[in-house]
Amino acid sequence: MTQVTRLVLTALALFISFSAFGEGEAQTRWELMNQIRREKFDLVLPEVMRENGVEMWITVNREGYKDPLTQDFGEGYVGDWGYYIFTYREGDYGKGRVERVALGIGTHLIEENGAYDYTTEGEFDLAAFVAERDPKSIALNYAEHIGGADGLTLTAYRHLQKTLGEKYSERFVSAEKLASDFRSRRVATEIAAFARAGEMSRKIAETAFSNEVITPGVTTLADVAWWMREQQFANNLGTSFGMPSVYITGPDGFVALSDNHVIQRGDFLAIDWGVGYLNFYTDMKRQAYVLKEGETEVPASIQKAFDNGRKVRDIIKANIKAGLTAGDTFDLVNGKINEAGFKVMEKFNQPTDDPSIVDVIIGCHSVGNLGHGIGPSIAWFNPERMKYMIHPSNLFSIELFAYTAIPEWGGKKLRVPLEDDAVVTERGVEWVYPVTNRVLVIR
């Protein structure tokens, strides 16, 4: 049994073990995040610091401002300046353990989470701390291409320059790739937590597209979106993208989006959304058809369009493997899609007019700590991260759009968007919750 196979099985066991909210939920969530943090620091951080040639990584917080990675490292009170600092000390670099300290970041929870060698919320000498370790490189959270790794403010950068002096300022490097690698390589508890978030996302979305929530001719798109938001509040869940995108697609594309448009019979609906649980955010889609009077099932033309999307998804799933860059994978998958008789589009939402062609575009992006994560991305909209290598334990949103001509629409095309979240293992892509395999029916 491979390492990642064991990881996924452990994740499944953990997922089952906390399958419902109950008493002590706040403490349970804290304990889970502590376990994730300890294992990431022990197992992932040494590997990615070594690969990126980084001897020290400093993340800065201030009172009233948190770096995007704060939740990863553990939140605490910062009265003025606070620092999370990770170091391979002289003589230990590359030997497998990273020293981890939190300076100027207080509260009992930081002290008790078990992830840090040393913490203090009192006075400390940052310059002396750095000089004692004398790192050859100091990674800071500034990044040209990844917003989630770009948390260092200009003021904080200047503060570090002044505090550490010219000698160490000349050793500053971007933590962009380091942060991406650290976040996107997963331990078992992360996959378990993300799977739980995915299952909650799925259940809420699929209930939203049912007669429990929708009455044709009465319910608006906004009613559905607000119902979904209420479920997030009721379960103390965050939101990946704010208001859920609940929309209608017709012969001419988008009809309406999360507004006061009343849902009618014959509408083709879609949801695009995600929830936040712990430090994990999902991204998924669901589709539904509102039966017309006298209909008992989804029309054959719409079912065919959906099935085309599923065929493309099967091709994507079969061809994403660890060990290739995201860009090489993008080219490989698109080639396989074309070979299967579909046509890969050059630009999003610009299908051909030829009704014999099923147009396709893929956007399989990183997911996990954000709805659009900061790891390798098999998507045209993340060109820098197309250069990153795909590793076992990376989480991906397997996203595609397939455009199929509908005879009842005069040959105009229905856009079917499919998206569900998965983990890469040594075997390939494996789903972390039940994915969409049917058009939901609203009667």
pTM assigned to the model: 0.92
Instruction: Judge contact between 58 and 100, C-beta under 8 A.
Output: no
pLDDT of residue 3: 52
Q: Which residue, chain included where needed, has tokens 């590793």?
A: 391
pLDDT of residue 187: 97
Q: Which amino acid is at 86?
A: F
pLDDT of residue 108: 82
Predicted confidence (pLDDT) per residue in 66-82, tens digit:
999 999 999 899 989 99
Residue numbers of the chain with a pLDDT score lower than 70: 1-23, 89-96
pLDDT of residue 19: 46
Predicted confidence (pLDDT) per residue in 89-100, tens digit:
656 555 668 999
Q: Angle at Cα 386 formed by Cα 381 and Cα 391, nearest 5°?
A: 130
Strand bridging mode 359-366 / 395-405? antiparallel
Instruction: Judge contact between 389 and 325, C-beta under 8 A.
Output: yes
Q: Between the CA of residue 263 and those of 63, 224, 259, 349, 362, what are the distances in Å?
A: 46, 10, 10, 23, 28
